[in-house]
Amino acid sequence: MEYLEIEGGKPLRGSVNISGAKNAAFPILSAALLMKGKMHIKNVPQILDVQHFLEILKEIGVYVERTDSGVILDTRGDISSKIKQSETHSLRGTQTLFGALIARNGKAFLPSLGGCNIGSRPIDLHIKGLRQLGANVDWSEGYLNGSADKLKGNSVYLDFPSVGATENLIIASVFAKGDTVIENGAREPEIRNLIDFLNKAGANIKMNGSGIIRIKGVKELSPVDFEIMPDRIEASTYLIMGAITGGDLAVNGVNVRDFEPVVMKLKEAGAIVDVKDNGSTVHISANDRLNAVDIKTLPYPGFPTDAQPQMMALLSISKGSSVITETIFENRFKAAKELRKMGADIKIENNMAFIKGVEKLQGATVEAGDLRGGAALITAGLAASGTTKLLNVFHVDRGYEHIEKKLQLLGGRVQRKTKNEI
């Protein structure tokens, strides 16, 4: 089993190119099933979750070819409506295949969903919305079964602005007869990226930024080439890593508006942040310990829950006391236990973390329990005294492309090793 060995205490310096967004790749690759033809999806990140997702596409009949800049898909063949049960297929990203397969084939069979164990992420909003579009949806023998002779446009109100449900409903309603209106839909940048892809292919979707999305059904889409947006959470992670190490680094190829809440909190904490090139480059520097700040996670445009554990690591050595309120996932504080092994002073009460900044963390052997928690422990290890060994690094590989190589280019002392070397 692989792990990362991190020698802390060295400021990160230089620049890092940000990869394509994990959370945009899944819905766009799913939506490609609505088009019958060959297309080049660019900037697809080379990460474990996407690799598994592409294997699923191959198994249901899509031709998939990796390129240096992305993935070539050919969706002209017969596409199976059933995704087989498999441990490697237990991805949250597969949820958008459900709406895509119903829209393309009139039926879909999806095994139970997986992803990080960070809290309940119910599929009920997906089911409720698809039923309002005329689909028959139920559970049977571990599968979510859906069918519809012809989906029909309708008004759908989401009780919570779920990203996955919004994406599924957008994809499913592209061919629905008439007009669909999604109210209280998610507003994340990844939603915009999906809509841009579908509109380029011939869909008629309008998003006004207020959570209302209007879709006029069309008869067909044409295959198009498309580029996936940069990963705002990867960009946020490297900025936080630069701040915690007292570094001087820039993230390139981004859209700063996508992660502005993170930038603003880093500024509030005392980091020097400079936005350049019309928001496509963000430079950060920090010469001293930063100051405590309070954070509350919220759906976009609020502070992203996916960047919260990394900020927890930063605040664990900031001056003063901080409070993090987590409103999205109830198990998002899993990294706190491991950070305490490194000397952090963190107390968890319900959905709140109370953090008293210590002057220094100490290297330790810690275990990633989920994707973003793993990134938080790497963040802490980069600033800690001594050596940190991060076990279960596969969690990090699910969402970060070549993380140790990128950190090495920034001067980070990070090496990937096998468990028998511990």
Distances (CA, A) of 407 to 88, 238, 361: 27, 9, 19
Which one of 116, 229, 235, 344 is the catalytic residue?
A: 116
Q: With contact defined as beta carbons under 8 Å apart, do 346 and 336 qualify?
A: yes
Contacts of 193 (CB under 8 A, 6+ apart): 21, 24, 28, 228, 229
Angle between helices 124-132 and 163-173 (to 10 degrees): 20
Query: Using CA atoms, how far apart are residues 146 and 82, in angstroms rounded to an integer?
Result: 10
Query: Using CA atoms, how far apart are residues 151 and 173, in angstroms rounded to an integer?
Result: 7
Query: Using CA atoms, how far apart are residues 403 and 212, in angstroms rounded to an integer?
Result: 37
Contacts of 108 (CB under 8 A, 6+ apart): 81, 82, 97, 98, 99, 100, 101, 102, 144, 145, 146, 147
**Neighbouring C-beta atoms of residue 78, cutoff 10 Å:** 7
Contacts of 128 (CB under 8 A, 6+ apart): 156
Nearest to 114 by CA among 62, 173, 47, 53: 53
* 308 conformational bin, left if phi > 0, alpha if psi -120 to 50, beta if neither: alpha
Query: Using CA atoms, how far apart are residues 64 and 175, in angstroms rounded to an integer?
Result: 24
**Neighbouring C-beta atoms of residue 285, cutoff 10 Å:** 17
Torsion of CA 401, 407, 408, 413, to 10 degrees: -130
Query: Using CA atoms, how far apart are residues 81 and 242, in angstroms rounded to an integer?
Result: 45
Structure tokens belonging to residue 227: 């580029």
Structure tokens belonging to residue 217: 């059904």
Structure tokens belonging to residue 270: 């005392």
116 catalytic residue (yes or no): yes
Q: In what order do the strands lie in the sheet with 70-74?
A: 63-66, 70-74, 38-42, 226-227
Kindly list the catalytic residues: 116
